[in-house]
Structure 1
C-alpha cells in the first residue's frame, strides 16, 4: 500500500470517527454539551421544581413513555366522548378549516365497546348503593320499631336523584374546565384513528386562539412587550400566577412539538393537499422556527422548559390521585382487556410513585382569604381557556385541544380541590372517608391519561429532534 493511500485511509477513518462520535456519545448519555441553539439552554434545574431536565428525560423516555404508549391504545382510553359542534362563545367563527385533514371521523355505534355505551361513571364501584343505605330495615332498629314508628326514614328515588344533582353541583365547583353537556351533540371519537398532527390549519384564526389565551386569560405583568410574556417579567410574578403561565406555555410547546413531529410533508415539498396518500413526518426547519432563540426573541428554550414544568405538574396529579385511579374498574365489557388495563394502570402508578422529585403543589395558594380569592381567579381564567377551545376552526385541532385542556384541568382539580391533601399516594390505599368525597367521570380520567401521554410523547420527540440536529 502506498503512502498516499495509507494517508487517505487514515483520513477517512478520522472523518468517520468525528461523524460517529457525537452520535455514539449522545446515545449513551455522555456529558458532551449540546451545541444546538434550541437545546443549549435546555439543561440543568427547572425553575419552581426540584429536579433537572436530564432526570425527567431519562425517567420519561425509559420508564413512563413506553408504558403510557401501550396503555393508551386500549379501548378504555382510545374512545373519547366530545362535542365538536358547540359554538364559540366569544366571537363568530368565520374561518372554519375546509381541508380534509381537519375532519374528525366519529365512531359508528357498532364501533363503540358495549361497556361504554351505558356507563355514566367509573365511581360506581366506590359508592355504596342507595338501596342498601336507605331501606327501611337499615334505618329502623327492630327492638324500637314500635317507639320510633312515627319517623319516616326512607328516601324516595326522586329525592336520591336530587341528592345526586347536589353532589354533581358541589363537584363542579372544583372543576377547572367547562365540560360538554352529556345530553346533546356529543359523539365518541376513536383517538387512534384521529391522531394529533399538523393539518394545515394556520393563519389569523389559529393566532387568535393563542392570542386570546395569553393576552386575555393569562396573568400578565403590568409591563410586557413580548406577546407571550417575557420570562424576565414572569420571574417577578407570584408563584401561582407564574405557574399558570408556565402550564399554558408548556401545553402550547407540547402541541407545537406534536405538529412539528407529525408535519404534513407534502405541503413542505410543495405538493397539493389533494394528494391521495399524504405523508406526515418530522419537520426540523419548522421545529427550529418555533423554538430557536434567534427566531423567538431568545424565549424558545424557556418555552421548552415549561413543557417539563407542566409534565411534572400532571405527573404529580396522577400520583396524588393514584389510590383513587387504582380502584377504578376501567370497564368496557371485555373482561380480559379490562383486567389487562387495570394491571397496566397499577404498574404505571408504581412507576410514577417512584419518581424522586415530584412537583410540590403545597407551595401554592397558602395564605388565607387572599389565597382563596387567587385560587378562584386562577380557576376562572382556566375555565375561560376551556371555553376558547370551542372557537378552534379545525375539528381535529379542536378535538385534541379540548382533550388536553380537560386533562390539564383535571390535574389542577386533583391538586387544588383539597380533597386529597391528607392522603398518602405512595401507600396505594384510599382512605374510607375519601371514597365518596372525590369524583372523576370517565371523560376526565381518559383526558387525564391522554393529556399526560401527549406531554410524555413531546419529551420523547424532543430527543428525536436533538438527534436530527446532531
Structure 2
C-alpha cells in the first residue's frame, strides 16, 4: 500500500505552476496530481480552469436562471426497469417540489403561440379545461414543409440513434420542475441503495471483465496495490472508445460528488438550514491517500467530461443560429436577449483553443466502428434507464437530467454531417433537438462547469487549513 510519504514525494516531483498549491497545504493530497496534460486529450487542466472560471461560467449561470432553462419536464414516477424496488428515500431533503402548471410560462406549455398580445390574452382568458385542449391540440396552421419536418423529427426522436430514453412529456405523470428551487445538493441519500445504483452502472455497463474490480466507492477503497494495478492495467488496455466511456461515467460521478460536498447540510435547526462546503467530505472522496490514488484520477475525469460536453456545445452552434430558432417563453424581449446570450456562449465555446477531437472515436474500420458505436449507445441508454431506480427523488431528478444532457451531447457529436447541412432558415430535416434535450444539455454542462469552478473554491478553502 502506498505510504503517505511516498505519495507526497511523488507529488512534489510533479511540475507546478505559480498558482497551484504549496506541498504543505491541506489541499495537496487532493490536487497534487490534478495538473498539466490530460490523458487521451491535447488539453491541460490549467487551460480549462482559466477558460471556464473566468469566461464561460458566469455567462452560463446567467442563462440557466432564465425561464426557458429553469423549467424541466420530467417523469419521476417511472418504475425501475431492472429490479423490484418500491422503496423511496424518506428524508425531507429528497423530495422534489413540482411546479404548478399556472406558474410555467405559457410559451413553454404552448410553443405554437406567437408574440402577439391578442393571442396571449386569448390564451390567458380561457378556462383550465379549454387551455388543456389547446395545449394538446395539433396546430393545423403549420405549412406542409413544417408538418413533414415534425414527422421526421418524431421518427428521429424514436430512433436508435438516440443515446438516452426520453421521458414521454405527454404522460400524466410528467410534471414541470423549477430547477432553481430544487437545487442539487446533499440530501442524506447514501448507503446500500445509493451504492446499488453506482455498482449497477459501473459493473454492468463499463465494458469490464468480471475479474476486474472497479474503484466504485467515493469512500476509502481499502484495496491493495495488486488490485489497483489490475484495474489500471485493465483500463489502459481498453480501446480508446471503451476507455473514454469509463472516463465519462467517472467524470459524471465525480461532478455529482463535488456538488454534494459543496452544498452539504452543515447545520439543521428549527429556525433555518445552512448549506455550504464540507471540506472533510470532499477529502474523503478525492484525497489521494484516503482513496489510494483514485481521487486525483476522478478529478481528471471531470475535466475529460468537460471537454466532451464543451465540444458538443461548440458543434451545435449552427442549429441555434438559424433565423427561425427561438428560446420561446412568450416574453419577446427576454427571449431575444436569451438567444443572444446563448449564441455568445456557443461562440465562446467554439473559440476554445484545445478542443477534444471526436473524430478519434470510432475511427477504425466501418464494421468495427459501427459495432463499437452500437455498444457505446446501448450501454449509455442502459445507464439512463438506471436513473429511474434512484430512491431519492431529488437525486433522480438531477441524475436523469445530467445523463440526458450527456446523452444529448453524444447525439450532437455523432450528428456532425446533419448539423453541417442545416439551412439558415426553415425546418431542419436531418437534425432536431426537443426542448427537453436542450434544457438537459445546457443544465448538464452547467453542472460540469460548476464542478470545475467549485474545485477552485475547495483549493482556496483547503489552502487556508
TM-score range, shorter chain: 0.7 to 0.9
| Residues 81, 188 of structure 1: 8 Å contact kept | yes
Equivalent in the alignment of 1:415: 413
Q: Are residue 263 (structure 1) and residue 264 (structure 2) matched?
A: yes
Give the match for residue 10 of structure 2: none
Partner of residue 89, structure 2: 97
1:170 aligned residue? 156
**Residue 233 of structure 1, CA deviation:** 2.1
Distance (whole Å) between structure 2 residues aligned to residue 289 and residue 133 of structure 1: 57
Q: 1:70 aligns with which of 62, 68, 87?
A: 62
Q: Distance in 1 between matches of 2:142 and 2:241?
A: 40
The answer to whether the aligner puts 1:181 opposite 2:163 as a matched pair is no
How far did residue 430 of structure 1 move?
A: 5.2
User: Which residue number corresponds to residue 350 of structure 2?
Assistant: 353
Match of 1:11 in 2: none
Q: Tell me what 1:292 maps to.
A: 287
Residues of 2 paired with 1:378 and 1:50: CA distance?
A: 23
Instruction: Tell whether 2:297 aligns with 1:302.
Output: yes
What do the CA deviations read for 1:116-174 (whole angstroms, capped 9, x no partner)?
A: 1122899xxxxxx863559xxxxxxxxxxxxxxxxxxxxxxxxx68x845642334321
TM-superposed CA distance for 1:434, in Å, is 8.9
Matched, 1:131 2:117: no
Q: Cα gap change, 1:323/1:33 in structure 2, threshold over 3 Å: closer, same or farther?
A: farther
User: Is the 1:120–1:442 Cα contact (8 Å) retained in structure 2?
Assistant: no
Query: 1: CA distance between counterparts of 2:87 and 2:333?
Result: 46
Q: Is 1:378 paired with 2:376?
A: yes
The answer as to whether partners of 1:50 and 1:357 remain within 8 angstroms in 2 is yes
1:417-436 aligned within 5 A: 417-420=415-418, 422=420, 435-436=428-429
Secondary structure (helix, strand or coil) at the match of 1:279 reads strand
**Number of matched residues?**
401
Q: 1:381 offset after TM fit, Å?
A: 0.4
Number of the residue aligned with 1:30: 19
Q: Please, what TM-score do these two structures have when normalized by structure 2?
A: 0.81
Residues in 2 aligned to 1:208 and 1:31: alpha-carbon distance in whole angstroms = 37
CA distance in structure 1 between the partners assigned to 2:70 and 2:97 by the alignment: 14
Aligned to 1:249: 250
Q: Does 1:59 align with 2:38?
A: no
**Please, what is the CA RMSD of the aligned residues?**
2.5
* Secondary structure of 1:264's aligned partner: strand
Summarize the Cα distance change of 1:101–1:173 in structure 2 as closer, same or farther, 3 Å threshold.
same
Which residue is 1:107 aligned to? 99
* 1:198-213 matched pairs, under 5 angstroms: 198-213=186-201
Aligned to 2:402: 404
Kept after mapping to 1: 8 A contact 2:419/2:431? no
- Structure 1 residues without counterparts, runs of 5 or longer: 1-25, 123-128, 135-159, 424-428
Q: Which ranges of structure 2 fall in alignment gaps of 5 or more residues?
A: 1-15, 115-140, 217-227
Post-superposition offset of 1:421: 7.0
**Match of 1:59, SS?**
helix
Q: Is the 8 A contact 2:418 2:430 kept in 1?
A: no
Which residue of structure 1 lines up, in the alignment, with residue 203 of structure 2? 215
Q: Deviations over 1:382-437 (max 9, x none)?
A: 000000000000110100000000000000000123544756xxxxx856799321
Per the alignment, residue 49 of structure 1 pairs with 41
Confirm or deny: 8 A CA contact 1:121 1:441 kept in the other structure.
no
* Cα deviation digits, residues 36-65 of structure 1 (max 9, x gap): 111000001001111110000000000010
Q: Secondary structure of 1:202's match? A: coil
